[in-house]
Structure 1
Amino acid sequence: MKRAAAILLLLIFLFNWFGYRLLSDYLQHRADTRLESQLDQNQYNEANLIEIRIPLNMPYQNVSSDFERYDGEIEYNGIHYKYVKRKVANGELVLLCLPNENRMRLQNARDEFFKLVNDLQNAPTKSPAPAHTVKSPVTEYWQQQNNWHFEALAAQQHHYTSYAAVIPSSPPTTTPAQPPEG
């Protein structure tokens, strides 16, 4: 009985450690594959397409008058977009994109699960700290005394070797002899 409980707790620990990441990545990959197949079969609403224009500065462009199917994705302001079509016109790359709502939903669920599992929603907030800074616990208590002296470098005399005397100004040339007759 103890062995079964230990195995169960180890499995829960491993799932908590990296299993939910693998599960969410699998679900996200499956949703992306499903969306790509729908896009390939033109099963989407044309009214939901968002146009992105990117100026191109290329001398030899393949100008295309019609849109062609194109795969890719971009994230802008926290919203994931999936490329649907593209064309090159008037020196610009024109991309038609769809917002990838399934990916955003799965990513939000993954982040919420991470917060719930690691008990981040109940963390006491004393003062709002900027989200982009990370404090290192080692450097908080580490005083470093830097006693650098640059006077020693300034006092040194630097000697430079002139290579003009070592390397000849022009390579020696020899006149070629007449080839043998044969």
Structure 2
Amino acid sequence: MEIGAGQPARYDAVTIFLHWVIALLVLFMIGLGLYMDHIPVNDPMPLHQLHKSVGIVTMLLIVVRVIWRLTHKAPALPKDMLPAQRMAIGGMEGILYLFQIFLPATGWLMVSSMAMPIVLFGLVSWPLIPLPQSVMDSGTLAEVMPDIHNWLAWVFGGFIALHVLAALYHRFIKKDQIVDRILPRHGAGR
């Protein structure tokens, strides 16, 4: 069912759940990362492990979300939406998915290049990415990865801001039902 013909077409419950859980985890990770950047390196080891643990869990949830998205069609957009707007929505969705995959992957590569252990929530060891000894010996990857990971986080934050601004625009200025497609349902009457 297309938006504009009665109730809006909605994402399925699994997509809605994954969207909001991952959104909260990503915001937590960005906040924790910003905090960790402003405290002495010798203090945050428990915070680094928490950041790595939540990052790995988030990455796994994102893999589930991508697989789910590839096997479950998104609800239709409004009939009157311009082709350029449709392309912008699809492009933004693709960019957000890429960042959600690449950001935790660069974090994993970063700690692997530094041979730093990953212990998920202090309970389970997570394997490091196997790297050639020549890469480990040169130290170049370990030197550049923190900057790459940090830079990607800032760019991702910018795209998240654009995504939120677009949602607010549709909700409060355009007053269409685009945002309703991903909002959790409240009450039995909806």
TM-score by length of 2: 0.26
Q: Return the structure number with greater strand share.
A: 1
TM-score by length of 1: 0.27
Q: Which has the larger radius of gyration?
A: 1
Higher relative contact order (CA 8 A, sep 6+): 2
